[in-house]
């Protein structure tokens, strides 16, 4: 089916980039589309020559610009569908894309009016069509953010609304470096590695109550309809870590956060017993991936008080992780 979608369409503009450490070839029938890909994924070139970071696997994403009858300049409504575990379909009233992990190919027909909304095109179309393929190539997403110091990373995992992104920003202000906003992608072979996207931190508008410097910043409406304040992740272009631990976030009570250590198996059991929509696609392999991430150290952080109150507990977790060989 995928071959039939672009059999007669030439895509002469192409680039191969190591997204999440996987060689991903993007081709397009117009330079405008490839320019959008460059702005989204071009920074991944920095890892091209680093030994052992780029896998032998590969994926392909084809982008085809077309003029659709009846298209307009309004922000399009995006719809997602999983016909089966191997295919993701994204549609707008006049655009269509399918990611097929059996072929490791995605094909997207982009309505010309969508070029007026490049953020929607990237976040709502190109990213899902790319990352769905990479999920089948040992880059499985988990619902979390990550921060790092030195050569150690800490994954902050938990359900929507628990405060992952707000704590990531608080950690940045407290001297840590964001590895990336959600999700975090876990690689198992040939060794454990976690990856994050090269994308801004997306804070909820209510985070302004804790950070005075955000008071005058207006939220941006994302392709999923949510309003977020976009913050540059800062630091270096590093978006991977081999030494890692896990912090499970839960809503707490009282005026201060509390930290409790746990075993890797306890951490994995907890995550698997609380499946989340979208991430349950990978349920069969989730337990082992969480357990591996948690082997360096695992904790439950019950969030209370202000985001700044968690910084000493991050220090405590990192000191433990840095002592682990």
* Residues 165, 196: Cα–Cα separation, whole Å: 13
Is the pLDDT at 165 greater than 90? The verdict is yes
Averaged pLDDT, 192-204: 91
Angle ∠(171,172,177) on CA atoms, nearest 5: 105
Averaged pLDDT, 200-220: 91
- At 208, list the tokens: 């302004």
The answer to whether residues 219 and 205 touch, using CB atoms and an 8 Å cutoff, is: yes
* Residues 292, 246: Cα–Cα separation, whole Å: 10
- The CATH number of domain 141-323 is 1.20.1070: no
Q: Which residues contact 189 (CB under 8 A, 6 or more apart)?
A: 138
Q: Which of 42, 50, 43 is nearest to 15 (CA)?
A: 42
Is the pLDDT at 70 greater than 60? The verdict is no
Banded model confidence at residue 8, pLDDT cuts 50, 70, 90: low
Is the pLDDT at 58 greater than 80? The verdict is yes
Q: Which of 90, 78, 82, 87 is nearest to 120 (CA)?
A: 78
- At 41, list the tokens: 């994924």
Report the predicted TM-score, pTM, of the whole model to 2 decimal places.
0.93
pLDDT of residue 1: 45
Share of the chain above pLDDT 90, in %: 71
pLDDT of residue 72: 58
pLDDT of residue 311: 97
pLDDT of residue 173: 92
* Residues 233, 182: Cα–Cα separation, whole Å: 12
* Residues 191, 292: Cα–Cα separation, whole Å: 10
pLDDT of residue 68: 59
Own/partner contacts of 172-175, CB < 8 Å, gap of 24 or more, are: 172/147, 172/201, 172/233, 172/234, 172/235, 173/211, 173/308, 174/308, 174/311, 174/314, 175/149
Strand partners, 112: none
The structure tokens 């941006």 sit at 220
Q: Which of 59, 39, 18 is nearest to 195 (CA)?
A: 18
* Residues 320, 231: Cα–Cα separation, whole Å: 29
Is the pLDDT at 2 greater than 80? The verdict is no
- Enumerate the domain spans of the chain: 2-137, 141-323
């Amino acid at each position: 089916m995928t071959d039939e979608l672009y059999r007669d369409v030439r895509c002469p503009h192409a680039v191969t980039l190591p997204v999440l450490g996987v060689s991903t070839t993007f081709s397009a029938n117009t330079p405008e589309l490839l320019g959008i890909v460059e702005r989204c994924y071009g920074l991944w070139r920095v890892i091209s020559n680093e030994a052992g970071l780029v896998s032998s696997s590969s994926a392909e994403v084809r982008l085809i610009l077309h003029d659709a009858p009846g298209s307009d300049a309004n922000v399009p409504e995006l719809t997602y569908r999983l016909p089966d575990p191997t295919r993701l379909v994204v549609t707008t009233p006049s655009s269509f894309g399918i990611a097929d992990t059996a072929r490791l190919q995605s094909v997207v027909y982009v309505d010309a009016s969508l070029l007026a909304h490049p953020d929607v095109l990237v976040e709502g179309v190109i990213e899902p069509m790319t990352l769905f393929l990479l999920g089948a190539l040992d880059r499985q997403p988990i619902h979390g953010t990550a921060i790092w110091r030195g050569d150690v990373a800490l994954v902050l995992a938990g359900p929507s609304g628990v405060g992952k992104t707000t704590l990531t920003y608080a950690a940045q202000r407290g001297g840590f470096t964001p590895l990336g906003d959600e999700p975090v992608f876990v690689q198992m072979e040939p060794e454990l590695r976690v990856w994050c996207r090269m994308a801004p931190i997306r804070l909820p508008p209510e985070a302004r109550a804790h950070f005075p410097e955000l008071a005058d910043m207006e939220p941006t409406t994302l392709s999923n309809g949510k309003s977020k304040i976009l913050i540059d992740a800062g630091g270096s272009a590093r978006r991977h870590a081999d030494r890692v631990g896990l912090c499970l976030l839960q809503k707490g009570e009282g005026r201060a956060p509390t930290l409790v250590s746990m075993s890797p198996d306890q951490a994995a059991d907890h995550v698997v017993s609380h499946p989340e929509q979208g991430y349950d696609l990978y349920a069969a392999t989730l337990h082992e991936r969480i357990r591996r991430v948690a082997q360096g150290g695992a904790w439950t952080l019950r969030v209370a008080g202000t985001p700044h109150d968690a910084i000493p507990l991050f220090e405590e977790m990192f000191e433990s992780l840095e002592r682990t060989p």
